[in-house]
Chains A and B, each alone.
Chain A
């Protein structure tokens, strides 16, 4: 058994919501006294353990707010676990958001340098792979245009090209294909498949189940920060689809009851 490249051991991550809803001075003072003014704790990941071997490809699924992005941020090292430990044995190229790390005022060319350096590439690496990056992004005519004038598709193309050319051991892609057109999505999927062949470890978040199916051998399913299941992608996707269907059905049932509850509550409040 080779050594795992990523090991999450009972990881809990808390997040600061810093809710900004002040109900006047009195409430404000009360919140300050409770030290809740700037910090409202929210457990985004609750006691998740996971072991990933080098060269594996993992999909992360779950409804909005499940904690997928938070988990990837924790693996990347942007967030620290509140409890538990994260061990990573390798370099990471995180692609956590479209054009993260791009400076809007700088040109595409300058941003390739900046973003490459942020990803931990050396200046020499960036120069030698510059053409490769430009070719893949298909942006050769827009290199000297400030990135603020790029379309979101152009930004994601450039970001993806840089991250995948960094040759990091681990590629983290968080819903980055959503803005590209289908041709580019297919091209990106091909590129990721190619990297996987070369031994890169892939962590992939998407709501596009067919992408997950195509790219990932294994999948982790999270809901409200809690581990639901993990295993072969096919099984997970089936279980997840079931869950979504159940949720949709339950929601229909609850909807009418909820409304009644609300009305009762307001009535009580008025009486008090």
Chain B
């Protein structure tokens, strides 16, 4: 029997051993979310459809001049918004939320943020099914430029995980973060042209949002692909990757700093 320092057995390097547990945690989250309801997993698809219908009924007349295909316009924005904000929100709660488990069993900590992120990704895929249904119903054609969409998902995913992990670590030390987050996402929703056209914003604010709102990078690219059937703007794409990697790097640096003593504060 080889003798090794205890910490080594918890390292990320032999992380594949925990892949089944990771999948199990994701399955657990999905199961818990939908098990009690009568329609079960159908809600993953029905819910975004219902919201899209309501928003279309309420707003499509108001923005008739500036937005041609309102259901798709809104859906492109909303699915990215939900992916980023609810994904980052779930990752944020993952460390504090699983504290009981972490205190009594020996599981690598990174499992929890990562499985929360994967759950959000699965939810996003359900959203895409709903999106496909809307595309078919509205008779919106697609072309080969849809091939760029996985790159948009990748950018949004990297950003979501990095941003969420930063929040998750901050949330350990300041539990206020999770309450502030709800207000923050509401503000973020109104500061991103999701249900209104970007042209309705005053000139100055529009520039700021287009330049500094990372969520809008992803929304803009998605709309290019599905509404204009064009390649997404390359600069926007670069910015999307850049902001994602910056947040990911910052969060991993911070995580490595605090993981040793994290348990004492959970």
Write the residues of chain A forming the contact surface with B, with a CB cutoff of 8 angstroms. 3, 5, 14-16, 18, 38-39, 54, 73, 76-80, 85-90, 92, 94, 96-97, 100-101, 103, 105-106, 110, 113-114, 117-120, 122-123, 169
Contacts and interface: CB of A to CB of B under 8 A. Distances in A.
A106 B35 CA distance: 10
Contact of A15 (B4, B17, B102, B264): B264
20 contacts: A3-B1, A15-B264, A39-B265, A73-B103, A80-B7, A80-B260, A87-B4, A88-B6, A88-B9, A90-B1, A94-B106, A100-B101, A100-B104, A101-B101, A101-B104, A113-B24, A114-B24, A114-B28, A118-B107, A120-B17
Nearest to B35: A105
A106 B4 contact: no
Interface string B245-265: 000000000000000110111
Given A100-B105, A106-B28, A77 B264 contact: no
Nearest to A123: B20
A39 B265 CA distance: 8
Contacts of A87: 3-6
A89 B2 contact: yes
A89 B4 contact: yes
Contacts of A114: 21, 24-25, 28
Interface in B1-38: 1-7, 9-10, 17-18, 20-21, 24-25, 28, 31-32, 35
Given A80-B260, A105-B32, A18 B265 contact: yes
B24 A78 contact: no
Interface of B: 1-7, 9-10, 17-18, 20-21, 24-25, 28, 31-32, 35, 100-107, 173, 260-261, 263-265
A106 B31 contact: yes
Contacts, number: 86
Nearest to A106: B28
Given A89-B2, A101-B101, 11 more contacts: A3-B3, A16-B264, A18-B265, A80-B263, A88-B9, A89-B3, A100-B100, A101-B105, A103-B32, A114-B28, A122-B20
Contacts of B32: 103, 105-106
A77 B10 contact: yes
A77 B6 contact: yes
B19 to A, nearest CB: 10
A77 B21 contact: no
Nearest to A15: B264
Nearest to B27: A110
Contacts of A97: 104
Contacts of B31: 105-106, 110
